[in-house]
Amino acid sequence: MRNRLRAVPLGRFLSSQGEQGQCLRYFQGGRKIFIICLERSQSFLNINVAQSAILVENKRNGLDKE
């Protein structure tokens, strides 16, 4: 019995932080897709952390005013 990998539109499910958890439902699609999904989730998490750090730094330096 061959394990077929099913294509999953990852971008759509990772478009926002709240939707990242939906990716976990696609484990039956194959281990490779699941791992890619986790890697993408980690990338989005890292981006969110970096953006938060920049916002904090800007606020500290008074650069958050329009």
Q: Would 42 be classed as within a structural domain?
A: yes
pLDDT band of residue 57 (cuts 50, 70, 90) is confident
Q: Would 66 be classed as within a structural domain?
A: no
Residue 38 above 60 pLDDT?
A: yes
Structure pTM? 0.35
pLDDT band of residue 1 (cuts 50, 70, 90) is very low
Could you count the other beta carbons within 10 Å of the beta carbon of residue 37?
A: 22
Domain count, the chain: 1
Q: Would 24 be classed as within a structural domain?
A: yes
**Rounded to whole angstroms, how far apart are CA atoms 9 and 40?**
12
Domain assignment of residue 15, given as a range: 10-60
Q: Would 29 be classed as within a structural domain?
A: yes
**Rounded to whole angstroms, how far apart are CA atoms 3 and 31?**
9
Spatial CA neighbour of 23 closest among 6, 4, 9, 2? 9
